[in-house]
Chain A
Amino acid sequence: MAMSFGSTLKELFRDYRFAVAFILLCLLITLAVMSFFAPHDPTLWYTAPRDLPPSRQHILGTTSRGQDVFWQAAFAIRNSLIISAIAGIVSRVIAVAVGLVAGYQGGKSDRILMFITDGFLVIPLFLIIVMLAMLIRDKMNIFTTGLLLAVFGWAWDARVIRAQVLSLREREFTRTAILSGSRTLELVSKEYMPYITPLAFSTLINNMSWAIGMEMTLSIVGLTNMDIPTLGTMLKWALNYQAILMRRWNWVLTPVMLSVFLFIALYWMSVSISEYLDPRTRVQRVGVE
């Protein structure tokens, strides 16, 4: 595991999925960053003539609310990414904490934690999120949405991390460290983290993809703050204005296609990273015939 970051990246790039995902993500993040240079406040209506097809002035046309589709999209991606980043990071913290404690301590704490985790896995999350969202409807902003999603996105990955910790615990170096008197906290942070961190990272990406999808899904049932442009709200506005019926594809398909690219890019990246980390799949990558 003592490989430099640069050589790790090079190894990862050999997988075409990582390369494609990386490029896509760079493009999408660039789009998000461009939002900082947008000419208008995205929450304002009628900043441009309504329902224009794509032209030189408005690259992707305009919406029925008189907004430039391109700039709306830029803000939408930015906010969606921020929400999912918040959700992803907070849920990583929970997942790693739960996975570490359950995996390392074992016994009763493991059973209790796993019972809670399995509970979260089994219960139809969408419904619980809906219920909660209904209650804090007015207070939904980027942060609360992210936190709400975080509270429900840690369960699966806590299991994954716990599995890794379990296998680490059985390894030689754990016994050595314990015998040589390392304290638990020290042991965990120094020895285990190099294994846990990349795993947490790959699940982070997966989780972000899930969070973006969840945010969009909440939008369709009207549980997100429609004033904040996200991929979900942008799509919902389009649907509210019958964009499909009116064949206004530029408005409807922009958030759809952007989100699809985002999902695929995030997924490919997380899969290629986790395959890289898994020693079994790594050995399978034998050279040329």
Chain B
Amino acid sequence: MAAGDVVLRADNLRAHYVLDVPGGQKTVRAVDGVSIAVRRNEIYGIAGESGCGKSTLMKALYAWINRPLRLVEGTVYYTKDGKEFDIYALSKQELRRLRWTFMAYVPQGAMSIFNPVIKIKETYRDFLSSHLKGKTVNEMFEMAKEHIDQLGLPLSILDAYPHQLSGGMRQRVAIALAALLHPSVIFADEPTTALDVVVQRGVVQLLKDIQESLHNTIILVTHDMGIHANIADRLAIMYAGKIIEEGATEEIFKNPLHPYTQFLINSLPQFGDTSERVSAPGQPPSLANLPLGCAFHPRCPMAMPICKERQPEATVSGEHQVACWLHAEGREAEHAAHS
């Protein structure tokens, strides 16, 4: 799968939740210095435990910032028709026009994302009519029908109310809806969580089919490493608001550099391997109360003194990046090794 050039670029993105609690304010640093570049025609996976900031990162990339979430620092650039633009510099109207036509979103928990008092086809119509001009209601219903049919979903779902559909079906409807206007980027936040394995497969397949027919970009967030192994072309591992490792999926699975990544991969069951599964000891840190230095050091079996003091910067070797003192270049590494 030849990935094209960059369609989305984030530089030093920081997005925090600022909460008013009795006694002052609490800042949750959900996204704390993330820089990534996502390409055309690829499925880009973001992995990590719950609470590491993955969903917030997606929202920040989609420019979906609502209080108490705030964009503290950083820029997000998209490339459309060869031109690069800063999504945060757009007016509300321009942003609204881009949504669904250029970039779409499949939120976490498709259980409750559909308006419960209208039929699915009406929801489709709402999305369509907000972005297309000059179509009659019937034409829009026809478009919805065709689209659903193409993707192999039963036509009956269009006349159903959301509560009449199963969870898995709702998820697929949401994914189908995301692809409706052929957007260049589709964000999918935990599309398989809370679904049983068989249904998961259907969802994953749907994502694959869409990407293959549209040749667009899908950014997929899930804690399930198995899914990433299945369809992600490139993979980023997120921990405590930062990307700690990134690279081609195969490369990461074959050669995980960061100790945390190693834990994540080792926790995957494999056929025939009956050895004990070891997960990372301890708990992920509270994003409101991050430790000094590398956020992983309290749980890292290979922590060195420097890990407790300073945050590691990303080291790049080809396509594979990692932020860990173990793999740092230059004097820092020497200093770390000798202390």
Task: Closest A residue to B67 by CB, please name it.
Answer: A286
List, in ascending order, chain A residues with CB within 8 A of B19's CB. Answer: 283, 286
* Complex: A285 Cα to B20 Cα, angstroms: 6
Q: Is B25 on the interface with A (CB-CB < 8 A)?
A: yes
> How many residues on A have C-beta within 8 angstroms of the other chain's C-beta atoms?
8
List, in ascending order, chain B residues with CB within 8 A of A287's CB. Answer: 18, 20, 25
Q: Is A257 on the interface with B (CB-CB < 8 A)?
A: no
List, in ascending order, chain A residues with CB within 8 A of B23's CB. Answer: 7
Task: Closest B residue to A8 by CB, please name it.
Answer: B22
* Complex: A107 Cα to B4 Cα, angstroms: 62
Q: Is B68 on the interface with A (CB-CB < 8 A)?
A: yes
Complex interface residues of chain B between 18 and 56 (CB less than 8 A to chain A): 18-20, 22-23, 25
Q: Is A11 on the interface with B (CB-CB < 8 A)?
A: yes
Query: Which residue of the partner chain, among B18, B20, B22, B68, contacts A3 with CB atoms under 8 Å?
Result: B22
Per-position 1/0 for B110-132, Cβ under 8 A of A: 00000000000000000000000
With A283-B68, A286-B67, A286-B68 as contacts: A11 and B22 at CB distance below 8 Å:
yes
Per-position 1/0 for B238-279, Cβ under 8 A of A: 000000000000000000000000000000000000000000
List, in ascending order, chain B residues with CB within 8 A of A286's CB. Answer: 18-20, 67-68
Task: Closest A residue to B25 by CB, please name it.
Answer: A287
* Complex: A283 Cα to B21 Cα, angstroms: 7
List, in ascending order, chain A residues with CB within 8 A of B22's CB. Answer: 3, 7, 11
Complex interface residues of chain B between 83 and 99 (CB less than 8 A to chain A): none
List, in ascending order, chain A residues with CB within 8 A of B67's CB. Answer: 286
* Complex: A285 Cα to B19 Cα, angstroms: 8
List, in ascending order, chain A residues with CB within 8 A of B68's CB. Answer: 283, 286
Per-position 1/0 for A266-285, Cβ under 8 A of B: 00000000000000001101
List, in ascending order, chain B residues with CB within 8 A of A283's CB. Answer: 19-20, 68
List, in ascending order, chain A residues with CB within 8 A of B25's CB. Answer: 287
* Complex: A11 Cα to B18 Cα, angstroms: 18
Separation in Å of the B102 CB from the closest CB of chain A? Answer: 29
List, in ascending order, chain B residues with CB within 8 A of A3's CB. Answer: 22
* Complex: A11 Cα to B20 Cα, angstroms: 11
* Complex: A285 Cα to B67 Cα, angstroms: 10
* Complex: A285 Cα to B24 Cα, angstroms: 11
List, in ascending order, chain B residues with CB within 8 A of A11's CB. Answer: 22
List, in ascending order, chain B residues with CB within 8 A of A282's CB. Answer: 20
* Complex: A262 Cα to B57 Cα, angstroms: 50
* Complex: A3 Cα to B67 Cα, angstroms: 26
Separation in Å of the B30 CB from the closest CB of chain A? Answer: 15
Per-position 1/0 for A254-269, Cβ under 8 A of B: 0000000000000000
Separation in Å of the B67 CB from the closest CB of chain A? Answer: 5
* Complex: A287 Cα to B70 Cα, angstroms: 12
Per-position 1/0 for A1-42, Cβ under 8 A of B: 001000100010000000000000000000000000000000
State the 7 A-B residue pairs at the shortest beta-carbon distance, nearest first.
A286-B68, A285-B20, A286-B20, A287-B20, A286-B67, A11-B22, A287-B25
- Contacts A3-B22, A7-B22 supplied; 6 other A-B pairs, CB < 8 Å: A283-B19, A285-B20, A286-B18, A286-B67, A286-B68, A287-B25
Q: What is the interface of chain A, defined by CB distance below 8 A to chain B? A: 3, 7, 11, 282-283, 285-287
Query: Could you jot down 17 A-B contacts, CB within 8 Å?
Result: A3-B22, A7-B22, A7-B23, A11-B22, A282-B20, A283-B19, A283-B20, A283-B68, A285-B20, A286-B18, A286-B19, A286-B20, A286-B67, A286-B68, A287-B18, A287-B20, A287-B25
Q: What is the interface of chain B, defined by CB distance below 8 A to chain A? A: 18-20, 22-23, 25, 67-68
